[in-house]
Amino acid sequence: MHARYRPTRPFFPSFVATIGIAALGCAGASDVSTATTPADRVYVGDHIVTLEDAHADATALAVRGEKIVWVGDREDAAAWQGPGTETVELGDRALLPGFIDAHGHLAGQAALVGVANVSSPPVGPVANIEDLQHVLREHIAKNDIAEGEWVLGYGYDDSLLAEGRHPTRHDLDAVSTDHPIALNHVSGHLGAANSRALADVGYTAETPDPAGGTIRRETDGRTPNGVLEETASFALRQKLGGQPTPAAYAAAVAAFAAHGVTTIQDGASSPATVAQLEALDQAGGLAADVVLYPFGMDPKAIPADFAFGDRTPRVKVPGVKLMLDGSPQGKTAYLTEPYHVPPHGKGADYRGYPIVPKPAVERLVAHWAGRGVPIIAHANGDAAADLLIGALAAAAPTHDHRTVMIHSQVVREDQLDRMRDLAIIPSYFSAHTFYWGDWHRDSVLGPERGARISPTRSTVERGMHFTVHNDTPIVPPDMIRLLWATTNRITRSGQVLGPEQRISIEQALRAMTIEGAYQSFDEGRKGSLAVGKQADLVILSANPLETAREDLLGLRVESTLSRGKVVYER
């Protein structure tokens, strides 16, 4: 595909379904005259959730090869069945479109293979710094890590540690001074290092803070204490090893598939990641579709003739990823009003900070919009949201740009109005309502702002496109928990955070399927169960539309199919 996207039509589910049916010469459920070749598989049941108005009451669906070839009534299914057709009786189970990962990091998930899990429950075992130290010591012993080799950990969360703080170099020196130790914060925006790791990357008392980052200091105001924010943590990440192996990618894809995900995103891809995943697909090594967004902060890193769009059958590069600010739970997101409780060493007026200044954001957005390249931009804080909104308004793209504001954690009502007018798609990290809802309310934002994180109801009321995501590996790719969190907004402590922002189960399902497809220009081939679309399917233990919202966590993924092939079975 040429680097400039061709505008696609607006998304109307029934219209897309009609076009697909007409292309196959099948006007509806009662017309089965085109079933001259039996289907490979026919699903029959009372819980087929098509998310298509034209087939809201479907009780059967046929798949041939990679495509859905028929959707209709069980009475007509016999016309699609032959000697080699597999018939799947769903019973109480439900058939839905495969879930779409609206934002995540496949390469990041693959990179966790062989890395110590220092997360807090329910993701990991760490409740305090002593637990963290124990996990690291066991990891070193179990893997026989030699002196001088890096020891890596992921997922520590200061908001959940009993001490209520980040581990420092002193805490990690107690584990080992012979190994450089680097831990990635659960947000992915901070890190912790021991003295050996700091020395290996050249951080000393004389090292200045890099632009867009902070090296936290001891009480003397000079000596690094081991905690690194934003760009200051990049030096550690460069030491964390090379590209994941094909086996690591296979394990990562399997983890997504086990949660019903059939299209996986890799946000902020490196050129090496794009090339490696293309090669894996060409070798038959990808079991799900992958949507990649190369890091676009340095336009020179992406050749002017780079072909955006479909690269290989399973690899698509729709656009680029920009990074505008940090993490709310890590208190580096860029806010218009100060943090409720500022981080240690910061004043009462502390509002976080942008990764790059406003003029740089404007130049980047103008550059990519001028080339017709879609943009997804990480903007957690409302001040960062203002940067993207202002830059896109100034760029004034006339093509179907589908700019996505990743996370959009604290967007205000007035910002949603402008986002609607500019056709900016918010992609909400609505799993936050469970994982860090209490932290946002009590420490990060305060009760009023905290109750409005991921304002999905406000977005629905404006008739806007929007998606929801897990940002894996920040949290696991658990789509059932994401559905539960988006519709319930229940925190770890069992409180409902902003009940007025809850949405219906169907609205949340659409955000996880058909809206995810729309976000990456794939609504014509993914996201719902319609004739002509890819047979990306998930079978759940029960119909979520007939499940009480508080009981959604009890749903199980029974089977996942990508392009008609089973890639996970419970």
The rounded radius of gyration (Å) of the Cα atoms in the chain is 24
pLDDT classification of 112: cutoffs 50, 70, 90: confident
Backbone angles phi, psi at 242, to 5 degrees: -90, -155
Q: Give the containing element (helix H, strand E) for 62.
A: strand 60-64
| Average pLDDT, rounded, for the chain | 92
DSSP 377-439: EEE-SHHHHHHHHHHHHHH---S----EEEE-TT--HHHHHHHHHHT-EEEE-TTHHHHTHHH
pLDDT classification of 5: cutoffs 50, 70, 90: very low
Q: Where in the chain is the domain with CATH 3.20.20.140?
A: 259-527
Judged against a pLDDT cut of 50, whether residue 376 lies above it is answered with: yes
pLDDT score recorded for residue 239? 66
Q: Where in the chain is the domain with CATH 3.10.310.70?
A: 114-237
Model-level pTM?
0.86
User: Any idea which fold 114-237 has?
Assistant: Diaminopimelate Epimerase; Chain A, domain 1 (3.10.310)
pLDDT score recorded for residue 450? 97
Judged against a pLDDT cut of 60, whether residue 80 lies above it is answered with: yes
Q: How far is CA 50 from CA 278, 386, 567, in A?
A: 31, 37, 20
pLDDT score recorded for residue 237? 73
Both structure tokens of 528: 């719902």
pLDDT classification of 243: cutoffs 50, 70, 90: confident
Judged against a pLDDT cut of 70, whether residue 341 lies above it is answered with: yes
Judged against a pLDDT cut of 50, whether residue 7 lies above it is answered with: no
CB 470 within 8 A of CB 101: yes
d(CA 554, CA 544): 10
Is residue 279 exposed (0-12), middle (13-18) or buried (19+ Cβ within 10 Å)? middle
Judged against a pLDDT cut of 60, whether residue 21 lies above it is answered with: no
> End-to-end CA distance of the chain, in Å?
38
Mean pLDDT of 428-435: 96
- Please give the share of the chain, as a percent, with pLDDT higher than 70: 93
Give domain 259-527's CATH number out of 3.40.630.30, 3.20.20.140, 3.30.1660.40, 3.40.50.2000.
Answer: 3.20.20.140
Judged against a pLDDT cut of 70, whether residue 24 lies above it is answered with: no
pLDDT score recorded for residue 446? 98
pLDDT tens digits for 496-519? 999 999 999 999 999 999 999 999
pLDDT score recorded for residue 187? 83
Q: Give the containing element (helix H, strand E) for 490.
A: none
Mean pLDDT of 292-318: 96
Both structure tokens of 253: 């894809």
